[in-house]
Structures are given as C-alpha cells and as structure tokens.
Structure 1
C-alpha cells in the first residue's frame, strides 16, 4: 500500500510540478504551526490546499472564505489519507492584486479599531521650532522640502532621520526612525515623506507596523507620501495628510508665513503713510510765508534756550546745596577724629597696660615659687625611690651577661660570667659555686 501511494505521488508530482489552479476559498483555517489549510472549489470539483508556514508568511493579504483566487503550486498526495492535495507556493486574488487586497483588509481592520477617527488626531504646533523628517537623505524629496522651508521660514530647524522608503527593510527602518525622533527631545513634530510610486513601491507605508508606530508617536505626525492622488495607510492614521512632501513643507510653515506676509503688508502701509505725511508737511511748509516761518522758528529757539537756562540754574542750586551738606559732614567727621586723638588713646592704653603688667608679674612669681617647691618635693621622692640610692647604702645589682637582673640562684649556673654593679662602678666575675634552694623547672 505504502509503495503504491508513494509511486502515485511521485508520478503526480512529476506531471503537475508547477501549475496554477483557480477557484473559491472555503473552509480556510490557519494552524498553530503557521501552516494554512483551505479547500479550493468551483461548481464541479474541489481540491484541498496547504501552504506551509514559510509560504504563508510571505502572503501580502489574508486569505478568507469566499475569495476568488489563483493558487500556484504542485500537486501531491497526502499518504496518511491517500488524498490528493495542492501544495501552494503563492496566492493571487482574481480581479484585485494582492497588495490592493492587503491594503483594503488592513484599512478596514484599523478603521474598526478607531485609529482613523478625527477625535484622536492632534493639531500641529502653530510655530514649531524644529521639525523631524523621516525620509531618504539622498532623494529629491528632502531637497524640495528644505528649499520650501528656507524660502518661507528660514529660522525653522530641520532634523533629517534617515530611513529606507522602499524595499523589504523599509518598514522596520521607518518604525525605528519614528521611535528615535520621539525619544530625542529635539523636535516638535514629525514629517514622514516619500515621493510617488507604484503600490509596490509604497508598500512600506501600507504596513501595519508603520501604521502603529505613527499611532504610538507622542509627537504629531504629518504623512506626506506619494502624489496627490496616492493614499496610504500612513495617511489615514497620521495627524495630518499632506498631498505631497512639498505641500507638507508649506503646511507646517503656514502660520509663520502668514505672520511674515502680514508684517510685510503692515510695513508697506507704514511706508506709504510716512511718505504721505512728509509730503503733506512739505505742502504746509510751502504755504507758510517766509517771515512768519522765521518768527515761529525764532520763537521756538528762544523757548528752548530759556528752558535750558532754567535747567542750568536749577542744577547749580542743587549742586550748591549738595556741596554744603558734604562740607557739614566733613566738619563733623573732623571733630569726631579730634575727640579720639590717637596719642591720647595710646597714653591711656599704656597706663592700663602698666597696671596689668605689674599684676601679671606678681602672679608669675607666685606660680614659680609654688612650682619650685613642688619640684623639690618630687626630686626628693625620686631620689628615695632610685636604685642608686639603695646602692649607696651598701647594696649591689647582679646582672647576667646579657644585662638581665639576677634575682634568683635559678638564673645562674657554675661557670657563668656575671657583672656586679655598686654605687661607684661595677666589676665582672665567674660563678664558681651555686648554693641555696633551687627550684625545679
């Protein structure tokens, strides 16, 4: 039985090693292992299909019951059941591309979660100081963006965070760039930018991981991906969609640009008003007779001169009063200094020091006498306790050869060299005989 099934499987796989099969998906069930199982059927037949985990992970959309698809793979036999099956390699929707279908599925799922709701989107800062731009640093997008910012708001700082915007690594790099700008503390808002392209080129901006990274951003995010007619998942979840990267640069500098335009308008109005006032003044001056103008000018000069004289007189009076006040202060200080004449103060201090010195001298004499008497008593006591005083009374000290005092016969033996110290000197000797009571060791 086994050999027959294996032979049939081998023949089938050789004959149908690479085929496309069209049908409707039914009984679609993903397994915990990651494999995907479903039945492909039409009006007349059905065929079990399996996509193993690796192929299932590469699908750009989620297969569901009722979808009309084309499955490419090889026909094989499941030996344990003796069942014909199609081992799929890839699946393409019929009537809609896999990317478009994946886009629609993710869009509906995120919309159901409320990630497209206007209520959760934040307004952009009116006057941002620094903008972080997530894009390719070598493309035309960043050059156009910087040109517009420089023209409309030259004081705006731009931090470019490099990331791939196309390819298999793009989604991960975009997610990482968003996280870095959020934790940097350098920017006030983020712009995710890319030029136009096909649905395949924009696939990174239609990925779930980039969408959730935008939603998780603590900073407002502007999506500026593709051309005006291109829509991506990033556009729907971002706080603001800009039709193009250039439009994004205009949007984030709009408030500052309006202020600059208003300042320019007011400046022009002020210049026109000033020119009008000058012209009007000239006309009035031309209408005034010369002698009358001279009289008015002379009167104005006289009033100014008189005002200056008045100010001079007031300044002189103020300075005189100030000088007199300072003179009084100097006189008072001089009297105070004379009252405290240094020579008189020195004489009084010497007199006080003389009395103090006499008292100090007497106190020192008394202290010296007491200390001398105490020193004599201590000297007498020391002499009475000194071993030398004992020697003066006829006693002697017996020392061993190493200088140890000999206090017992146990410390010497016959033939030892010893020294004997008297009050006026010492002498050496040899022990010839040891007598007395010796203790055993």
Structure 2
C-alpha cells in the first residue's frame, strides 16, 4: 500500500539545493582533514589550478588545488607520487562530484622524511656538528669497546664475529637499544649518555643493519645527533648498507659503511701486531747483541789499560831504576877513590923528591892534613851516599814487593833460574818453583796448569 503525503507536508529538494546542502554538510563535518594517496589523472590547465585524483588500492577521490594555494608550496605534483594532502571535503555542485579542496600537499613516506633529513642536516652543519675539528681520534688499541645496537639483530652478530677475529682480547660491552620505532631515538641517546657516565669504554660502535629510510630514521633524529656530538668517547657509526647515510654518520667521529666495517675500524688486526712484535723483538735482539759486543770490546781495552797500570809493573820499573842508581853510586865511589889514590901517589912521589927533614915533616903534616881532609871528605861523601841510599831504600821499601807480601801477596820464581813467574806460559808440569811470602818461603812442584 502506498501513501502519498499532501504537498504541504512534503519537502522537495531541487538538485541544486540538495548539492548545496550536501556540500555544506560535508564542509562542516570535514573541515580540515589529512588524506594520503597516490596522484593520478593530473591536470594543470592554463588557469594555474591543479586537478587530480587521489587513490589507494580500493578507491579514489577527485581533488582540486587552486592557484593561490599552489604558490605557497614548492612541491611539484606528479602522477604516481604518494602524497599527503590537507583538504576540505566538498561537493562540486554543477556536477554533483564529491571532491577535496586541497590546501597543503607534501610527499608521503621517504619524500617527507628526505626533506626533514635535509633540513636537519643543514641546521646541524650550520652549528658546526659536522666539523672535522670537533671529531675525536680513535685509540690505536682500545681497552674496552662499547656496542650500542639491538641485542637480537644481525648487526651485533657481525660486529662480535669481526672483533673476535681481529683482536679477541679486547672486551666488549653491549648497550642494548631499540634501533627502530618511536622510542628508539631516546634509547640510543640514553645509551650514549650512560656509556659516557660509566667511562668503561675507549670507543663506541653505534650500529644497526640495513633498511629503508623510515627504518633508519632513529639515526636521523636530532636528539641522537646531539648525544653523539656531546660524547667524550669517540663514536664509530655503522648504520645500514654502504650507500646509506644518516645524520648520525655525519656527526660521528668515524663513519663506517657497514656494522662489520665499524668493527674493523675499532680494533687493529692482531696478526699485523704480532708481525710487528716479532720484528721489534728481532731488532731488540740485534741492538742488545751490538751493545754487548761494544761493551765486551770496551772491557778488553780497560783490562789492557789496567794491566799497564798494575802495581807489579811499577814495582818492576822501580827495582830496575834502583839497581841502576846503585851501580852508578858504586862507580862514582870507585872513580873518586882512584882519583884520591892517584893524587896521593903523586904527592908521595913528590915528597920523596924533597927529602929534607923539615920538608919531610912539613910534608908529613901536610900529608896528615890532606889525609884527614881526604878521610873527612870520603866520610862526608859516604854519609851523603849512605843517606841517599837510606832514602832510596825507604822509597824502595814503600814500593817493595816485601811490603806487598805483608798484604797477603806472594812472589813466585822459577828454580833454578830464579826468574820471576808472571804468566803460566813460563811454566810446564813438573817445574820446581819457589814462592816467597811475607814470612818465609815455600818450594812447590807444578802439577797442573790452567
């Protein structure tokens, strides 16, 4: 059964009214919304406005962006680009088309992230966070290495494998952090700060495996960049693959293309060090051997000098000198005595030539006088010579072997020749020697010679 209401009780819309009220209703309910989708059917008429469709896998909607809004953004729309638009929901009344009036447009996904990356990179570069003068030097051989990464990822396994292979003796401290997600940036920054406060490590490795720009975004956060810059411990980054660059790489003291490469830079190759140690050991041995040879030559020279200055050599020379002086003394005495004897004979002969008794008596007195003078001169000369001999004897006694004997030394001579023995080369087994001591002497037969 069909009921038709009277005209007065029914509200009948015209198409224009319906579209207008629908447009108002949509505009009031969706005042400013964000919609993500892919651009298609892009049209850019001479008016400067832009018309396109925004679609996803299951639906699409028409969009319009007017010229005055377009001038405010440098983004250039293209078919196939994934974008995010800020728009009002509207209805194009003449055709009844449901559409979006776009106020803002930006690339979605990597595009937006790339712009944020470039903006932060420029900002931090202007502040000097990338300057080489601010970068710390890496230790040649760290005492301890800190690794800031996910404890379950492939990066930590690669890093530990390389560190064990290159220098297994260096201990490693792992600071586990999330390397992806909203909280990753805070965990990474806290781990860097914790490592600096503990001061247990000489170098830090900040790392994770490869991924998209969005996956690596935690390493492009400003809080992480500033934590790296504030670190007093040098930091090596190994984030993603060789072609991946993050803000953390620019701030770090050294950027490695991969986690494994970061581990390579953190420690030296133990085989290279071992080779260097072997070389240094060989050089040290050579230098020590050369020094020993030089010292041995110097010792031989000093021994020769010592032998030349030995008291025995000086005693021998003094004894020879004493014998020489004694011989000269005897010669001088004999010469003087002969001279006086000859003089006496000459005067005696002359006396006999003058026989008168007065002359004889006078000559006798003269003779007695001269004889007394002669005797006095001889005695005086003998006293002088005796005093010289006494002095020479005292001097000789000071350097005499006998004095040396009193200090525990002895003098050994060969029998029957009496030659003083100064070397074993003068002896052979069976020889008889006589050894003079401070008190007495002993006679020995040589049994063995060393």
TM range (shorter): 0.3 to 0.5
Q: TM-score, normalized by length of structure 1?
A: 0.45
